[in-house]
């Protein structure tokens, strides 16, 4: 008995650039990329700056901030499969998943602004506000990103084309991350100086809120463009119960292995990313300079080496890695590529510990950030493409159209990694006696004396701890069974089944 089926549907869709090889238009690939461009602008600011915001701007203790990050993101991760089930059973004239891009986009932007708003309340009330707004933001994030991710499973039935879409997605995601991270600190400083009027300086909290308003407006427009430029071409019809979908998912061995590997990857990125703001504030300092070689007898130029530059250079490097994913995956296969990338991540992370804090060391740090980010750029579309393979495996093995449920698990792994990583950074710093800054110290960029234990903790969070996480990802992926050869066999059988169903 066939309990679910996928039916190919052809839409007559206007294209800005015409169709390119692989069946989809370039405009559609770009449109799909805009969606994760929007998500990543928010996600990277949350991952890299929110822990610092809560402990140094909003005014929470490190322990309370760590519990907040963990609890809210665990709820967010648990809610992902719920959203996947809802999206799988949505029926509209726009498809299953696209409507969420249109209707949830305004809530997405509003929730982000509320998250970075600091009310003038007592500590207990502010803590409650932080929980409410963070849970709201993550719930809305789930409501728009789970359907967005699941769209990949119904836009094309070609495995290579899914990798292409994933590459466009991650290329634009890192582009959005670059824009957000490169502009975040300048935006905050701009609003601190009074904005366009330039007359009255704002409190740090107000400057952070207005910076998020700018980012939120851009995110809203990008999601609307994604809705307008994309189409769902495969119609999935599920006649099985929710319980059957969940039981099939829980018995899906490749899914479990991929969840573990993806969680490790996101944990790697979150631990490093959440540490950067602290690392620059307390180890590198606020006035570190990158010096260029002098020309002739002239004095060499120098420019500020700050957290936003370090992170944004990483995002550009991620884009280079994304561009390399498709040819590398074709050459080595997805599984072997995943293992090799994590091996290099482990080696480079260990080496980072031994880089000196000096003018030469600053350039080495930037070089290692470029190399590590190229590798993580390869990983991101690779993981999304593997999830699409797991979705095809589930349809072949269990005869269930649970694309949204499976793709929601990828978001779940991302958020569990973020929850554990973000909370662990805050708790480790608290255990090592890290001293948060006051609002006045942040405005004046004051250097404060941190205990040696806190400084050593920061160095480990940028090196040995991520290296151990990369090793765990390698070992987990070793057991992944869906090789290139195996997926070719499964896809062939699926095509025959779909033709028979038609």
Sequence-distant (≥ 6) Cβ neighbours of residue 439 within 8 angstroms: 57, 203, 204, 205
- CA dihedral of residues 415, 420, 424, 426 (deg, nearest 10): 40
pLDDT value at residue 411: 66
pLDDT value at residue 404: 67
Lowest model confidence (mean pLDDT) among 13-22, 124-133, 303-312: 13-22
pLDDT value at 3 more than 50: no
Place of tokens 């159209």: 401
SS3 15: coil
Indicate whether 17 belongs to any domain: no
Residue range 478-492: mean pLDDT, rounded: 86
* Residue 248, token pair as written in the block: 């099939």
Q: Using one digit for the tens of pLDDT, what is the confidence trace for 31-82?
A: 999 999 999 898 888 877 888 888 888 988 888 988 887 888 778 777 877 8
Residue range 355-382: mean pLDDT, rounded: 93
Indicate whether 431 belongs to any domain: yes
CA 79 – CA 95 distance, rounded (Å): 22
* Residue 319, token pair as written in the block: 């884009």
Nearest to 352 by CA among 244, 276, 446: 276
Residue 287, Cα to own-chain centre: how many angstroms? 29
Lowest model confidence (mean pLDDT) among 127-136, 234-243, 259-268, 463-472: 234-243
Indicate whether 481 belongs to any domain: yes
Residue range 482-497: mean pLDDT, rounded: 81
pLDDT value at residue 442: 66
pLDDT bin (cut points 50, 70, 90) of residue 297 is low
Mean pLDDT of the chain, nearest integer: 83
User: How many structural domains comprise the chain?
Assistant: 1
* Residue 410, token pair as written in the block: 């990828």
pLDDT value at 19 more than 50: no
DSSP state of 282: I
pLDDT value at residue 501: 58
Provide the percentage of residues in the chain whose pLDDT is more than 90: 34
pLDDT value at residue 73: 72
Indicate whether 53 belongs to any domain: yes
Q: Using one digit for the tens of pLDDT, what is the confidence trace for 162-199?
A: 778 888 888 898 888 888 888 888 898 888 887 665 54
CATH of the domain at 386: 1.20.1250.20
pLDDT bin (cut points 50, 70, 90) of residue 341 is very high
Residue range 439-463: mean pLDDT, rounded: 83
pLDDT bin (cut points 50, 70, 90) of residue 159 is low
Indicate whether 13 belongs to any domain: no
CA 405 – CA 392 distance, rounded (Å): 13
Residue range 373-387: mean pLDDT, rounded: 88
pLDDT value at 502 more than 50: yes
Residue 247, Cα to own-chain centre: how many angstroms? 28
pLDDT greater at residue 420 or residue 498 = 420
Q: How many CB atoms lie within 10 A of CB 10?
A: 8
pLDDT value at residue 2: 32
H/E stretch holding 474 reads helix 464-477
pLDDT value at residue 7: 39
Structural domain boundaries enclosing 350: 25-230+241-293+300-493
pLDDT bin (cut points 50, 70, 90) of residue 426 is confident
pLDDT value at 298 more than 70: no
Indicate whether 437 belongs to any domain: yes
What is the SS3 assignment for 172-239? HHHHHHHHHHHHHHHHHHHHHCCCCCCCCCCCHHHHHHHHHHHHHHHHHHHHHHHHHHCCCCEEEEEC
Lowest model confidence (mean pLDDT) among 13-17, 191-195, 489-493: 13-17
Lowest model confidence (mean pLDDT) among 141-145, 363-367, 419-423: 419-423
pLDDT value at residue 202: 58
pLDDT value at 226 more than 70: yes
Indicate whether 451 belongs to any domain: yes
pLDDT value at residue 409: 67
Indicate whether 14 belongs to any domain: no
pLDDT greater at residue 175 or residue 445 = 175
Place of tokens 């990802």: 473
CA 6 – CA 257 distance, rounded (Å): 25
pLDDT value at 124 more than 50: yes
């Amino acid at each position: 008995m066939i309990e679910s089926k996928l039916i190919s549907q052809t839409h007559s869709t206007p294209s800005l650039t015409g169709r390119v090889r692989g069946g989809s238009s370039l405009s559609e690939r770009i449109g799909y990329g805009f969606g994760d461009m929007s998500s990543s602008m928010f996600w990277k600011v949350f991952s890299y700056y929110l822990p610092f915001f809560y402990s140094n701007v909003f005014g929470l203790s490190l322990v309370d901030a760590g519990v907040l990050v963990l609890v809210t993101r665990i709820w967010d991760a648990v809610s992902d499969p719920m959203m996947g089930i809802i999206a799988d059973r949505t029926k509209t004239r726009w498809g299953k998943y696209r409507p969420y891009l249109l209707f949830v986009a305004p809530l997405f932007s509003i929730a982000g602004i509320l998250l970075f708003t600091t009310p003038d309340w007592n500590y207990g009330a502010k803590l409650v506000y932080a929980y409410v707004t963070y849970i709201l933001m993550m719930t809305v994030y789930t409501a728009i990103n789970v359907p967005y991710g699941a769209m990949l499973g119904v836009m094309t039935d070609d495995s290579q084309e899914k990798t292409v879409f994933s590459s466009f997605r991650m290329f634009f995601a890192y582009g959005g991350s670059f824009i957000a991270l490169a502009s975040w600190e300048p935006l905050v400083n701009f609003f601190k100086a009074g904005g366009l009027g330039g007359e009255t300086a704002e409190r740090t909290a107000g400057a952070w809120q207005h910076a998020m308003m700018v980012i939120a407006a851009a995110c809203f427009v990008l999601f609307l463009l994604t809705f307008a430029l994309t189409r769902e071409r495969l119609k999935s019809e599920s006649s099985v119960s929710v319980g059957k979908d969940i039981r099939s998912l829980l018995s899906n061995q490749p899914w479990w292995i991929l969840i573990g590997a993806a969680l490790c990857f996101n944990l790697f990125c979150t631990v490093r990313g959440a540490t950067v703001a602290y690392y620059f504030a307390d180890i590198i300092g606020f006035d570190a300079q990158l010096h260029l070689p002098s020309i002739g007898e002239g004095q060499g130029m120098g420019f500020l080496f700050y957290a936003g530059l370090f992170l944004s250079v990483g995002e550009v490097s991620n884009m280079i890695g994304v561009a390399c994913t498709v040819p590398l995956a074709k050459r080595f296969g997805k599984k072997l590529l995943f293992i090799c990338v994590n091996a290099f991540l482990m080696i480079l992370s260990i080496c980072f510990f031994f880089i000196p804090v000096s003018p030469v060391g600053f350039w080495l740090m930037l070089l290692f950030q470029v190399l590590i980010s190229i590798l993580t750029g390869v990983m991101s579309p690779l993981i999304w493409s593997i999830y699409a393979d797991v979705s095809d495996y589930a349809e072949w093995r269990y005869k269930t159209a649970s694309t949204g449920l499976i793709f929601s698990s990828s978001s779940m792994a991302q958020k569990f990694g973020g929850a554990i990583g973000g909370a662990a950074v805050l708790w480790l710093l608290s255990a090592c006696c890290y001293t948060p800054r006051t609002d006045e110290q942040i405005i004046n960029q004051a250097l404060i004396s941190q205990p040696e234990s806190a400084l050593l903790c920061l160095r480990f969070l940028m090196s040995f701890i991520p290296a151990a996480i990369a090793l765990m990802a390698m070992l987990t992926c070793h057991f992944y069974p869906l090789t290139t050869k195996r997926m070719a066999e499964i896809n062939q059988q699926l095509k025959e089944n779909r033709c028979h169903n038609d």
